[in-house]
Structure 1
Amino acid sequence: MALKWTALGALPSIDMKPDYFAGEYLAVAGAHDDRYRDAIANGPNLHTFLSKFEGSHGQRLRPSLLIRSDAYPERPNSEAISSFMDIVIACVVLDVRVRTVTWRRNVGPFYADSFEIYPWMITPDGKRLVAQNAALWAVHELDKFRGTASAAVPVQEVGREATHPRFFKQLHAIWKSHFIDGQDGWTSRAILRSLKMATSALRLSSPTGSTESFYDYGRILSLWVSAFEVLVHPGSTGKATRQRVLDLLKTISWQSKMMQEATHQADFGGGNVGNVRLANALYVKMHDLRNDFLHGNPVETEKFRLDNGTWILSYPAAIFRMALSTMLPDPDEVTREQALAGEKTREEYWQHLQAARYRDDCEECLLAAVKRQPADDK
């Protein structure tokens, strides 16, 4: 029996092209998705509501939708919705951040702000509009409504990427276990909490992006370090430490020799300077900068620059993507040995390589931290 889908909110700043950011209970769908059309059919005046959205310069928009199915036992609470959106944001924005560094140009939604759910939504009976958040509770009429996308971020397309479906499947399994099945394991909770911190770190550094300061960069860096610490926290048996994060980063299976070699200096304090892998060295610098900012110690802008002139904030997304993927079970992984032995087909192996392409992207991104950069980057 087909599921019935109902709209929960509009996302006017993204044009969602793929149909795989969906589970049995919640989905983010674009206008070409059958579930989107089902939600339109099931929502009185929803089509009219969506037709009233425009860009800041009058261009017509077709907002994507956050939708739920009738398989959900009841209307999902705000925590479940927020966590689901964190998963979608991680799948899209982390990879965009990584590729923007390697391709030297923006390649999609760069900020989590692009996925903001519009505060106004039509009621289930289609008779009026309601806005409800921490700052606003209001009711209005549909015929007077004019919807707009965010003025701070551009409306951007979310394209089809081979690396996204498996990542979403892995994260969604944790979300479902926690919010649907009621299994409150510590590791699952830590991952979902860590994603929340990462989403905050991926937002604009200021509400409009036009009044940011050096201190906003420190706040963002602090959120990134917190995301790593939440990820490795052992629960009631201990606490998150810099060493726990470094131990996790040591378990990452880097492919290139430059990423594997422990040839990068890291200052551990008290005159203790050691050689570690590149990702570990970058994290030590991030951690020290975070401590200086949060403790009010003197910090200069140049502290955010690495020796080759690149910004330290260019690299947390790649390290976090790899750390998170290292922690997630991957039941769909296909090894070269399995393909050679005939246990898996060449096509299955090829699909696995495409889904794991993010590893190459992350390594290329992190190597930009030590490679010589063009003069215009310095």
Structure 2
Amino acid sequence: MNRPASSRTSERDWVPIFALPNVNFTTAVESKFALLCGLSDKRLQQALNQSATFAEFVSRFTDAFGRQVTPSVLLLKASAPRAFYTITALAGFRDIVAMSTIPLNRALWLQYRTLPKVAYSNTFSLYPWSPSKDEKHLVLNTSAMLAIDDVKNFQGQASPELSSHQLSADDLDAPLLSSLVDHWEKTFTRSRGRDWKQQALFRSLNMASQAAQIPTSAQVSLYDSGRAIALWVSAFEILVHPGPNQRADQYLVFELLEQVKWEITSHSHRRFDVRKKNSQKPSKRIYASWLYARLNWLRNQFLHGNAVKADMLRLPKNAGPIEYYAAPLYRLALSAFLNLSWQRPFPPVADAHAFAKHCSDLSDYMVPQRQIEDALTVARSGWRVRNDARRRA
């Protein structure tokens, strides 16, 4: 890990660690200890002025056809505790940003069927080459390769299967991001062992980030979809796992989803049959639980080698592939796990300005939740039905 030498730590405020060539952040994502931003950010510019090697490194990225690409950079506070200078912590921050972007963008795609800016977590891949600790060379250390080379020979390339996108504040799920960053800071600030719930959260986020990757660089097959569904189900199970010597199952996921604070009240109605194991009599569950039960069943079909046909992966009424709904459903599970809710009390009505601002802030806070729930409405009612309703409205 590129932790700065102690003599340099005192000279720097932020230390650039990794480049992300597939995305250009026009707004910074930050915490007390980490910063993910585009090249125009003043803090990054100051850091690059103190690191000629990193400055040249980030200027040498292109796409597959040689066109210049503007990467983003992940930085750490020079004074951050040692625990933050680990790949576990850095990957955790990357996973936070991915899961605060992808579920919301996929939900918008499901509603409007327009190509989302960011639908896959490969967008946030950390480039494996970075400057050495003494900043004289570039180094690479992966499971497959250990290498060192000269930055003058470097020709970086964004992933050819992705479009390079600019990412702004509007593309981020701000309430979820804020809560996850708070958990990240508390988790890695602790000098002693982390509690089970925090471990479960970041293990789950990492699994979800893997599930949200582009299934393959060429045409997607039935097997690719099955693998992605299996990873999504694992992300849910890790999140609800009660601890050592215990086990997670779909019923714990049902319980978590049924704790969601719904904006659309019909999503809280128990109207959908979910059959219990070894029981002929189904139980009534909310639609989110029914959808997860279907994902879990498909996971079992794939992983146990049972027969699977393409039409099993599609929801009725032109709602689309069930796999697409896993990310919005995961965001709902996170909202219950983190108890995401508006905490600020209303100011007195007599203070018209403060009251109006409070109402506006509350409305902005609830936008991502409403978008996610609208995607669930599409799953339940069908895309054509949903859009007909919008036109009538």
Is TM-score (shorter-chain normalized) higher than 0.5?
yes
1:366 pairs with 2:376: yes
Deviation (angstroms), 1:44: 2.4
SS of alignment partner, residue 27 of structure 1:
strand
Alignment pair present for 1:46 and 2:54: yes
Residues 99 and 365, structure 1, Cα contact 8 Å, conserved in 2? yes
Partner residue, 2:22: 13
Q: 2:184 aligns with which of 167, 175, 197?
A: 175
Cα distance change, pair 162–51 in 1 and its aligned pair in 2 (3 A): closer
> Is residue 56–residue 149 contact of structure 1 (8 Å, CA) maintained in 2?
yes
Q: Deviations over 1:240-264 (max 9, x none)?
A: 1111110111111222243122223
SS of the aligned residue for 2:74 comes to strand
Instruction: Note the alpha carbon deviations across 1:81-123, whole angstroms, 9 max, x for none.
Output: 1111111111111211111111211231111001111111122
Q: Distance in 2 between matches of 1:52 and 1:162?
A: 27
List per-residue Cα deviations over 1:285-318 (Å, max 9, x = no partner).
1111111111112222111112224211121111
| Structure 1 CA distance for aligned equivalents of residues 330 and 92 of structure 2 | 17
* Equivalent of residue 158 in structure 2, options 145, 149, 171: 149
Q: Distance in 2 between matches of 1:3 and 1:273?
A: 61
Please tell me whether residue 204 in structure 1 is matched to residue 214 in structure 2. yes
Q: Equivalences for 1:155-304 in 2 at 5 Å?
A: 155-161=164-170, 164-182=173-191, 184-206=194-216, 208=217, 210-236=218-244, 238-269=246-277, 270-304=279-313
Aligned-residue identity in percent: 26
User: How do residues 27-38 of structure 1 correspond to structure 2 at under 5 angstroms?
Assistant: 27-38=35-46
Residue among 112, 127, 134 paired with 2:121: 112
One-letter amino acid of the counterpart of residue 92, structure 1: T
2:80 is matched with 72
SS of residue matched to 1:357: helix
Partner in structure 1 of residue 143 of structure 2: 134
Alignment check: 8 A CA contact 1:194 1:231 kept: yes
Q: 1:308 to 1:95 in 2, by over 3 A?
A: same
Deviates most, 137-146 or 181-190: 181-190
Residues 188-240 of structure 1: CA deviation (Å, up to 9, x unaligned): 1111111011101100112x1x1432011111111111111111111036321
**In structure 2, what is the equivalent of residue 355 of structure 1?**
365
Q: Does 1:83 align with 2:84?
A: no
Aligned partners of 2:105 and 2:171 also within 8 Å:
no
Q: Give the Cα–Cα distance (whole angstroms) in 2 for the partners of residues 165 and 288 of structure 1.
A: 32
Distance in 2 of aligned mates of 1:340 and 1:229:
44
Cα 1:253–1:204 change in 2 (3 A) is same
Tell me, yes or no, if the aligned pair for 2:230 and 2:299 is still in contact at 8 Å: yes
Query: Distance in 2 between the 1:349 and 1:104 partners?
Result: 30
Structure 2 partner of 1:346: 356
| RMSD (Å) for aligned C-alpha atoms | 2.5
User: Structure 1 pair 347/51, CA: closer, same or farther in 2 (3 Å)?
Assistant: same
Matched residues in 1 for 2:138 and 2:246: separation? 48
1:271 is displaced (CA, Å) by: 2.7
CA drift of 1:73 comes to 3.0
2:32 maps to which residue?
24
Q: CA deviation at 1:373?
A: 3.5
Which residue does 2:64 correspond to in 1?
56
**Is the 1:10–1:63 Cα contact (8 Å) retained in structure 2?**
yes
**Contact 1:114–1:153, Cα closer than 8 Å, also in 2:** yes
Q: Distance in 2 between matches of 1:328 and 1:177?
A: 14
In structure 1, stretches of 5+ residues that fail to align are: none
Q: Amino acid of the residue matched to residue 297 of structure 1? A: N
Q: Secondary structure at the match of 1:369?
A: helix
Count of matched residue pairs = 372
- Structure 2 residues not aligned, in runs of 5+: 1-9, 388-393
Tell me: CA distance 1:174–1:372, structure 2 relative to 1, closer, same or farther (3 Å). Answer: closer
- TM-score, length-scaled by structure 2: 0.88
Aligned-partner residue type, residue 313 of structure 1: E
CA shift in 2, pair 1:8/1:283, >3 Å:
same
